[in-house]
Structure 1
Amino acid sequence: MVMKLAQFLGHLFFDAKETSVVVDGILILCIFKNLSNLEVTKTGKLALGVEYRAYFRHSEVGDAKNHLIPSMIEKLDQVTEEKLQGYGLKF
């Protein structure tokens, strides 16, 4: 996926070593723990006043029931199953 994004953005990697180093670096930077601990995530706000930290929440399996109503959970399950159909996953 990182390679497809780089290609879309017009960045071509010139050799396998460069590709490996850059992709590994991007993946490390995008780990949830790293993103959620950035200063901008902790203190920044969008123009409408929504804090960036609202997009980062540690979760546990089944925790949705503590934050969403049943119809929302059902809709999320439905959309997820629809989008991932054809990938061999079982729900």
Structure 2
Amino acid sequence: MCNNNKDVLQEFLQRMEDVLSSSTIHKETSKIEKEVQLLESKKNKLVNMRLEDIIDKETYEEKYTDILQKIDVKIQDIQDREKLTSNLEEEKDIKNVY
């Protein structure tokens, strides 16, 4: 299928490269990593608040669970971006073949 549409394939690969450029992915990954650090800091503060009896156990557990879920989502985002980086490199290899 691609043999007859070399121009279409090249255009597609160029567009994918533009959208998924390594620098863009790395910037977004760095941003997400900073967000994870912020969430970790909030988690630590929350633990301290509970240890000092500033908040009750139920509130603590609710907020702690919420923070953990947010961290998990961010970590999944980082993993997805790493996959995109890998795919970008594969596409560059394909482009070099054609």
Structure with more contact order per residue of length (Cα contacts < 8 Å, sep ≥ 6):
2
Same fold by TM-score greater than 0.5: no
Give the TM-score normalised by the residue count of structure 1: 0.29
